[in-house]
Amino acid sequence: QVQLVESGGGLVQPGGSLRLSCATSGGRIFSIYNMGWYRQAPGKQRDLVASITDIGTTNYADSVKGRFTISRDNAKNTVYLQMNSLKPEDTAIYYCNADILTRLFDRPNHYWGQGTQVTVSS
């Protein structure tokens, strides 16, 4: 079955940068439609950070617009989140997700990664 594998989280100083990666693998993948990144801080709900469609249309939360960039490599079935000018309030667990068609003549299913910790602290 399909699995999402995340990497790139860690500890950075305010103003620093990180790049998160999330690769889809493990099953038969016919098509990947929407891909996105969410984050959840302690005591908070999980919120959308950024999303990207199969044709490259992007959407960002107002809090990260101008600082974060989402992109995808369709040949590698991978989505990225480049995070610049990081702030302490960006500290959260970041989760990737993807809508993936795994069986012909079926509907795409919604998959989640395990999450990766991003900590921004001085």
Separation of alpha carbons 85 and 4, rounded Å = 26
What digits encode the pLDDT tens for the residues 64-116? 999 999 999 999 999 999 999 999 999 999 999 999 999 989 999 999 999 99
CA dihedral of residues 72, 73, 77, 81 (deg, nearest 10):
-30
φ, ψ (nearest 5 deg) of residue 104: -60, 140
pLDDT at residue 122, rounded to an integer: 92
Whole-number average pLDDT of the chain: 96
